Amino acid sequence: MKTVEKRIRECVAKGNKAFIPYMMAGDGGLDSLKDKLLFLEECGATAIEIGIPFSDPVADGEVIQRAGERALADGVTLRKVLDELVRFKGEVSVPLIIMTYLNPILAYGINSFIERCEKIGIGGLIIPDLPLEEDGLLRNGLEGTDIALIPLVSLTSSLERIVNIAKQAEGFIYAVTVNGITGVRNEFEDKLSAHLKRVKEESSVPVLAGFGISTSQQVEQLGAQADGVIVGSAIVDALHRDDLEVIRGLMRTCTMEINNSATS
């Protein structure tokens, strides 16, 4: 069992649910990356998803796209993010998950990228544009490491595809809660509950819900149906505005709501 899965299971075993915040590396300057990670850890993050800015995102909504554009304008690259993470290796104790598209990894070099992630102690990779049929590009090189290749399952995934993804899943399954890109949503489709139930039934690893989750009510609603949640746009927006109290309140309230729903 890889560390990121172990941390989530430990959280669930205590009667809680996992909370993974997403942040864009380099938005506001790479020199602030360490402090932001430590802040999110202090707030109670189970793990932290670190986004790598990319010029042509296909899964990200407006808030995260703009954060990526600001980081790119400051010259932030995958290599610079990894170099910065090496600088304070071990100072952040929760698992760190890199979210990037495939092209930056190919440009870096797959083997070199994996070796660098191992040196840093990265706990997982989320690559939205890497389909199951092609994930051997990285999976083969990740064998024997503590880095989980975390798959995404969408609302449109067939049962057969969910089963196939679940067979190879590591760390956790990222259950996408909307048809579309990231960003705040006021409501979710009626079929989402059945979808999350189906994914959990087929999966031997934890299932976390993500995309569009931004309020404590939504965390309570979806956290009750999964092993935890991932919150992105709301965190990215608050970090950009330096509104740390909003993040503290969101994570504290969300954790309370999840805990209550788990024990009620």
pLDDT averaged per 10 residues, the chain (length 264): 95 88 95 96 94 87 91 97 96 97 96 97 96 94 96 92 95 84 53 89 94 74 85 90 82 54 42
Backbone angles phi, psi at 177, to 5 degrees: -95, -5
DSSP string, 51-71: EPP-SS-SS--HHHHHHHHHH
pLDDT of residue 260: 47
pLDDT of residue 264: 38
pTM for the whole structure: 0.91
Quick one: 3-255 is in which CATH superfamily? Answer: Aldolase class I (3.20.20.70)
Q: Where are the domains of the chain?
A: 3-255
Residues annotated as catalytic (active site), given as ranges = 49, 60
How many other C-beta atoms lie within 10 A of the C-beta of residue 78?
21
pLDDT of residue 180: 52
pLDDT of residue 183: 46
pLDDT of residue 186: 47
Handedness of CA 70, 152, 103, 137 (dihedral sign): positive
DSSP element (H, E) containing 247: helix 244-263
pLDDT of residue 99: 97
pLDDT of residue 253: 53
